[in-house]
Amino acid sequence: MHDDLERVLFSEAEILAGIDRVAAEITAAYCGNEFTVVSVLKGSCVFCADLIRRIPIPLQLSFVAASSYGQGTEAGELTLNYLPSNNEIEGRSLLLIDDILDTGNTLYRLKGELLARGAVSVETCVFLDKPARRAVEFEADFRVLQVPDLFVVGYGLDFRGMYRNLPMVGVLKPAIYAATASPTPPITLDRGVRDSVEPSDPRP
């Protein structure tokens, strides 16, 4: 898999140092308050697992997932497939965790949905922030690393379900995804709720 990378953008050591920093920020923000971490499947599972083990205060853990059906590289309508149960949302302070923030559509939609279902507050935490792709006014409350507008994989981020298990974040060689960029039948995004699949980002 390493041979499919154009270059390594963030090493494992850089990633873990960033997670240590954000974990300390979250601990300070939520100390003395009950809260629930809501992990967006599947992309954030690696990040979330490392993050919560560095937060030494009580928390609960839940998950959320959704699908987008579209043609080829065009995103379709975002459909929420799975949300935490009402007793995990109502009256709770939530910390929504995602792997990458690019257009902002996903976290904007999810935050609104969770608040509408009775959450007291919803803050957001992302592993990677790609502000160059922002389509709505939305910023994460906590972020580990900022990335330029590049096609990145590793540490939970995938291309067609692969590369999630890389311990670093790397730039995928264009030849890898260009070979699979032709239109395909409607697909389900296996990265859970993600912002969108833009033409420059043909991963499913």
Domains held by the chain: number: 1
> What is residue 201's predicted lDDT score, i.e. its pLDDT?
47
Tell me if 150 is assigned to some domain: yes
> What is residue 195's predicted lDDT score, i.e. its pLDDT?
41
> What is residue 56's predicted lDDT score, i.e. its pLDDT?
97
* End-to-end CA gap in the chain: 18
Tell me if 183 is assigned to some domain: no
Tell me if 56 is assigned to some domain: yes
Tell me if 195 is assigned to some domain: no
Contact 67, 83 (CB under 8 A): no
CA 172 to chain centre: 18
| Set 102, 129, 158, 201: catalytic member | 102
Residue 34 sits in a domain whose CATH number is 3.40.50.2020
Tell me if 193 is assigned to some domain: no
Residue ranges of the chain with per-residue pLDDT less than 50: 69-75, 182-204
Tokens of 136: 């709505």
Tell me if 187 is assigned to some domain: no
Tell me if 89 is assigned to some domain: yes
| Structure confidence by residue, pLDDT tens digits, 154-196 | 999 999 889 999 999 999 998 887 876 544 433 333 333 344 3
Per the structure, the complete domain to which residue 20 belongs is given by 2-178
> What is residue 111's predicted lDDT score, i.e. its pLDDT?
93
Tell me if 42 is assigned to some domain: yes
Residue in the block written with tokens 């239109």: 183
190 is catalytic: no
